[in-house]
Amino acid sequence: MESVGDSSKLLMRLMSASSLRARVLSDNIANQNVPGYKRQVVRFEELLAQQLSHGARSLDGVEPKVVTDTLTPSSPDGNNVSLELENNAMRENWMLYQTYAAILQSKNDMVRAAITEGR
């Protein structure tokens, strides 16, 4: 059972969700001119927050979900992909991934320093 305090495992799962999001965003961009295509989005951080707000002791069951975006307006051909929106989402996702990686690296550096402190 994963405890809420297991931050390394949680950071790895957040990075994995960011990788999935990058693939989904790339798919959206690739399909921006396909009539009727509906953009996809990855929901994970919201699901984690929801579990935590309900007092969950374990986050094991929370998995990233790829869902169809029905809120973004469609063009006349039914496609709702906006290149500007996808590019902004890609930049945000990249920054989140870099942040998660930096936090994980800092955590690992602190553990390494604690282990080698007396040597």
How many domains would you assign to the chain? 1
Indicate whether 65 belongs to any domain.
Answer: yes
Indicate whether 67 belongs to any domain.
Answer: yes
More confident residue, 56 or 35: 35
Question: Cα(56)–Cα(49) distance, rounded to whole angstroms?
Answer: 10
Out of 5-9, 69-73, 109-113, pick the least confident. 5-9
Indicate whether 51 belongs to any domain.
Answer: yes
Indicate whether 98 belongs to any domain.
Answer: yes
What's the pLDDT score for residue 110? 85
What's the pLDDT score for residue 5? 47
Residue numbers of the domain that contains 88: 7-116
Indicate whether 77 belongs to any domain.
Answer: yes
Indicate whether 1 belongs to any domain.
Answer: no
Instruction: State mean pLDDT over 68-79.
Output: 95
Instruction: State mean pLDDT over 81-103.
Output: 96
Indicate whether 97 belongs to any domain.
Answer: yes
Per DSSP, helices labelled H in the chain are 7-30, 45-53, 83-116
Indicate whether 2 belongs to any domain.
Answer: no
What's the pLDDT score for residue 118? 60
Question: Cα(86)–Cα(78) distance, rounded to whole angstroms?
Answer: 17
